[in-house]
């Protein structure tokens, strides 16, 4: 398995994601600077990490979404490539249009940093097939703008198409329908605010993120 992790000025979870890919899946992982115009050859998955790309100026993820590498990521995703966007990466994916909706300021206007319970809403994706539907898992969050917002019609569409990947077990940031992560229409792109890459080592407090990375390895290597 070959993974590429995008690095923006202000990224602070890029190494975490690279380590998760390497340690859990054994993936050959390449760090790709945002100014590059293309992805490495034969990449199986692209990871867009958390952090504060470009200092979150203008709007979270908005400047990063216009970096040269993001044009390559959009083309890659539209050709059927797999993309995982975590936290700021989720914001970047909405800004590029690869995922619908928007991430707004948390309803309490405070930065939230703690482990939270998530409910797995679908197992029908390369990201979630290692979990059970309705399973409760604990994954850490660290965000100020994780309040997922969408129109009523979009929320209904996401529900009807089984594209809500995870929900918060309890409301933590005001997100519509407690949505923590959503899938693209082809189910090959996942954006989520919680950090599964920070939940792959027991010494860090939990391992509920391991199943996601193992599922990716099994799905992408067999493909």
pTM above 0.95, yes or no: yes
Tell me what pLDDT residue 115 has. 97
Per-residue pLDDT of the chain (223 residues; tens, 9 = 90+): 999 999 999 999 999 999 999 999 999 999 999 999 999 999 999 999 999 999 998 899 999 999 999 999 999 999 999 999 999 999 999 999 999 999 999 999 999 999 999 999 999 999 999 999 999 999 999 999 999 999 999 999 999 999 999 999 999 999 999 999 999 999 999 999 999 999 999 999 999 999 999 999 999 985 5
Give the single-character DSSP code of 39.
P
Tell me what pLDDT residue 148 has. 98
Q: Which two tokens stand for residue 162?
A: 């089984």
pLDDT digits (tens, 9 = 90+) for 109-150: 999 999 999 999 999 999 999 999 999 999 999 999 999 999
| CA within 13 Å, CB half, 190 | 27
Please tell us whether the domain made up of 2-222 is placed in CATH 3.40.50.10490: no
CA distances from 120 to 40, 62, 210 (A): 32, 28, 14
Closest CA to 65 of 41, 96, 37, 35: 96
Residues 150 and 182: beta-carbon distance below 8 Å: no
Tell me what pLDDT residue 222 has. 57
Domain boundaries, the chain: 2-222
CA distances from 118 to 172, 179, 182, 209 (A): 11, 9, 13, 11
Catalytic residues: 87, 195, 197
């Amino acid at each position: 398995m070959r993974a590429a992790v995008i690095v923006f000025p202000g990224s602070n979870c890029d190494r975490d994601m690279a380590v998760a890919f390497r340690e859990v899946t054994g993936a050959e992982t390449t760090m790709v600077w945002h100014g590059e115009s293309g992805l490495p050859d034969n990449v199986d998955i692209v990871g867009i990490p958390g952090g504060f790309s470009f200092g979150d100026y203008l709007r979270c993820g908005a400047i990063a979404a216009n970096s040269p590498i993001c044009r390559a990521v959009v083309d890659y995703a539209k050709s059927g490539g797999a993309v995982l966007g975590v936290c700021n990466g989720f914001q970047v994916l909405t800004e590029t249009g690869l995922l619908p909706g928007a991430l707004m300021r948390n309803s309490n206007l405070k930065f939230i940093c703690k482990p939270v319970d998530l409910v797995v809403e679908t197992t029908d994706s390369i990201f979630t097939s290692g979990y059970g539907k309705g399973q409760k898992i604990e994954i850490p969050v660290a965000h100020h703008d994780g309040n997922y917002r969408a129109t009523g019609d979009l929320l209904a569409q996401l529900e009807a198409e089984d594209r809500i990947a995870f929900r918060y077990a309890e409301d933590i940031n005001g997100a519509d329908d407690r949505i923590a992560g959503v899938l693209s229409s082809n189910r090959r792109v996942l954006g989520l605010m919680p950090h599964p890459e920070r939940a792959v080592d027991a010494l860090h407090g939990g391992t509920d993120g391991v199943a996601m990375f193992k599922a990716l390895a099994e799905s992408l290597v067999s493909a």
